[in-house]
Amino acid sequence: MKQILLIEDDPFIIDIYNKKFEESGFSVDVANNGEDALKKLEQKKPDLVVLDIVLPEMDGWEVLRRIKSTPELKDLKIIILSNLSQKKEVEKGINLGSIKYLIKAHYTPSEIVEEIKSLLQ
């Protein structure tokens, strides 16, 4: 079973995606801030990270930088799932090492699941 770490602080979004991922056969762990996410990544490396940018305490940019600068985690597949939709933000996400930048408002949860399935094949 493929493992996903969802890094998101909105309880409503967490609930929707947690259910969707589990219904699709993924095992899901949730971190609702950057510090928590990094602690979880030290303990267990998932197959994929779904990362929001707007997070309390430490934003997603810093989480992404730290993951990519950690030798054991640098090859981790990361998808940014955010409502920040400016071209410069999308480019920044890709340049910092995410494999996809998905804008929440442009995709349904089912479409996000399909994107993830295709990336993990």
**What DSSP letter does each residue of 67-117 carry, written as one string?**
HHTSTTTTT-EEEEEES---HHHHHHHHHTT-SEEEEGGGS-HHHHHHHHH
Q: Tens digit of pLDDT for each residue in 52-108? A: 999 998 999 999 999 999 999 999 999 999 999 999 999 999 999 999 999 999 999
Q: Tens digit of pLDDT for each residue in 31-41? A: 999 999 999 99
Instruction: Pick the closest to residue 105 from 89, 87, 84 (CA basis).
Output: 84
What is the structure's pLDDT at 98? 97
User: In order of start, what are the domains of the chain with their CATH numbers?
Assistant: 3-120 (3.40.50.2300)
**Cβ 13 vs Cβ 55: under 8 Å:** no
Within the chain, how many helices (H) and strands (E) appear?
Answer: 5, 5
Instruction: Establish how many alpha carbons lie within 13 A of residue 32's alpha carbon, considering only the half-sphere containing its beta carbon.
Output: 8
More confident residue, 121 or 24: 24
Over the chain, what is the mean pLDDT? 96
What is the structure's pLDDT at 121? 84
Q: Tens digit of pLDDT for each residue in 14-62? A: 999 999 999 999 999 999 999 999 999 999 999 999 999 999 989 999 9
CA distance 37 to 5: 8
